[in-house]
């Protein structure tokens, strides 16, 4: 799948290394980094200035992440939407085609040829990814963007303790403080969400239906937390042994999950003409298809912007940007989808934002004190994009 889809897990590398190798290796052979002999000097100077601008890279990363979340929510938010596997298959197909086209154009020259042995070894990780993005999509279908973003923080806690068990990680008092804030922000968000649903429901039947929808969302969110943790921890265990670089992870994830998603869609989803008409009403059909295509391309945008941000700033700055980015993502839900604006919801967003910031600061302090093990595998850029897009 487009290593993407709503997973903003704050486990960014904080050791100064870039994803998958040397600090400049990821973009060293990309179009943005190659000399532009065919561009006029003035245009080349402008492009070069932008390419080395920390501010431009940060803005690009934030816009890519926010747009991915908004588009995903738009596609799945229809009351009759029930073709999640089909949607994810389209994302994977678009992303795979885009990667192959970029390779032919020489933009992804570091993409290794397809290897059947590696594909067999990586396939279980791809299945975990299917579970992660499917449950994430279903949770986003029933929950508002702010609530979804806040609850995603809980994944950080599960992953952190998974690292303690399997990778010799450690949890500092400051990290525990951030975990407490994350749990508190999630409780406040759920309480505000339930209160808003009850206040806007005039009849008891409407209130019951609203609460049923929220309960479904929280159930899917709980599954997503554990599916995401299983995927990230499993990938950390396998990725270094596989020696995957940059786009290799994204390519294998998308390619290997295409047949799985298609089979699941044909078996579990209703492909009747009546159901297709419900999922793709005439008035929004074109917009939905454009959104599906964009969501597949956005994985590459996010992966590129992640590596660009690290290359021109640092992995520590990138980690902080990821924490700060939760606020505009949550606010985008209030702006674009009429999520209820109450004292509780705003308080939960602010508290969730602060918890992410405290967690990022805790990771920076851990690095400075050399608490984190030096032998932990470095996450690839494609793996990072996987988490950033579903946030």
DSSP class per residue in 217-263: HHHHHHHHHHHHHHHHHHHHHHHHHHT--THHHHHHHHHHHHHHHHH
Q: Which one, of 364, 362, 373, 367, lies nearest residue 173 by Cα?
A: 362
Flag whether 86 is in a domain: yes
Residue 34 lies in a domain: yes
340 alpha-carbon distance from chain centroid: 24
Residue 1 is assigned to a structural domain of this protein: no
Per-residue pLDDT of the chain in tens (391 residues, 90 and over written 9): 544 444 444 344 433 333 333 333 333 334 344 444 455 667 667 777 777 777 888 888 888 888 888 888 888 886 678 889 999 999 999 989 988 888 888 777 777 788 888 888 888 888 888 898 899 888 888 888 888 888 888 888 888 888 887 777 777 888 888 888 888 888 888 888 777 777 665 566 766 777 777 888 889 999 999 998 888 888 877 877 777 765 777 888 889 999 999 999 999 999 998 999 888 888 888 988 998 899 888 877 887 777 777 777 766 666 667 777 777 777 777 777 766 777 777 888 888 888 888 888 887 777 777 544 444 444 444 444 444 444 4
Q: What is the pLDDT of residue 266?
A: 93
Instruction: Say if 379 falls within a structural domain.
Output: yes
The rounded radius of gyration (Å) of the Cα atoms in the chain is 21
> Is 18 a domain residue?
no
Residue 384 lies in a domain: yes
Helices (H) and strands (E) in the chain — how many of each?
Answer: 15, 0
Q: And the tokens for 21?
A: 């190798």
Q: If we measure between CA atoms, which residue out of 131, 125, 46, 91 comes closest to residue 301?
A: 91
Beta strands in 55-113 (DSSP E): none
Domain tally, the chain: 1
Q: Is the pTM of this model over 0.85?
A: no
Tell me how far apart the alpha carbons of residues 292 and 10 are, in angstroms, rounded to a whole number: 26
Position 6 in a domain: no
CB 307 within 8 A of CB 26: yes
- Look-up of token digits 């992953």: 159
- The verdict on residue 16 lying in a domain is no
**Spatial contact of 234 and 125, defined as CB atoms under 8 Å apart:** yes
**What distance in Å separates the CA atoms of residue 384 and residue 303, rounded to the nearest whole number?**
7
Give me the domain span that covers residue 136. Answer: 25-388
């Amino acid at each position: 799948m487009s290593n993407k889809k709503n997973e903003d897990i704050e486990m960014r590398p904080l050791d100064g290394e870039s994803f998958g190798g040397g600090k400049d290796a990821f973009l060293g052979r990309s179009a943005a980094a190659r000399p532009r002999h065919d561009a006029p000097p003035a245009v080349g100077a402008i492009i070069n200035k932008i390419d080395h601008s920390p501010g431009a890279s940060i803005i690009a990363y934030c816009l890519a992440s926010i747009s991915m979340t908004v588009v995903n929510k738009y596609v799945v938010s229809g009351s009759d939407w029930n073709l999640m596997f089909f949607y994810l298959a389209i994302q994977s197909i678009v992303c795979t085609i885009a990667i192959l086209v970029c390779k032919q154009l020489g933009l992804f020259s570091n993409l290794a040829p397809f290897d059947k042995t590696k594909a067999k070894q990586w396939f279980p990780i791809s299945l975990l990814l299917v579970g992660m993005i499917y449950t994430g999509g279903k949770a986003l279908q029933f929950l508002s963007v702010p609530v979804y973003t806040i609850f995603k923080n809980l994944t950080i806690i599960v992953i952190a303790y998974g690292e303690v068990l399997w990778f010799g990680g450690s949890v500092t008092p400051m990290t525990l403080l951030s975990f407490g804030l994350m749990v508190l922000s999630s409780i406040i968000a759920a309480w505000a969400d339930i209160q808003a649903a009850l206040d806007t429901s005039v009849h008891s039947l409407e209130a019951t239906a609203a609460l049923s929808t929220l309960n479904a969302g929280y159930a899917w969110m709980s599954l997503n937390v554990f599916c995401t943790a299983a995927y990230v921890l499993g990938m950390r265990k396998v990725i270094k042994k596989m020696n995957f670089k940059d786009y290799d992870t994204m390519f294998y994830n998308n390619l290997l999950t295409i047949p799985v998603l298609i089979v699941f869609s044909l078996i579990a989803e209703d492909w009747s003409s009546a159901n297709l008409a419900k999922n793709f009403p005439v008035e929004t059909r074109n917009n939905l298809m454009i959104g599906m295509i964009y969501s597949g391309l956005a994985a590459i945008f996010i992966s590129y912007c992640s590596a660009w941000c690290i290359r021109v700033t640092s992995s520590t700055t990138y980690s902080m940007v990821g924490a700060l980015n939760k606020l505009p993502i949550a606010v985008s839900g209030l702006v674009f989808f009429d999520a209820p604006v109450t004292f509780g919801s705003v308080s939960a967003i602010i508290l969730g934002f602060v918890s992410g910031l405290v967690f990022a600061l805790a990771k920076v302090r851990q690095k400075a004190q050399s608490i984190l093990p030096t032998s932990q595998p470095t996450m690839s850029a494609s793996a990072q994009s996987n988490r950033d897009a579903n946030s």
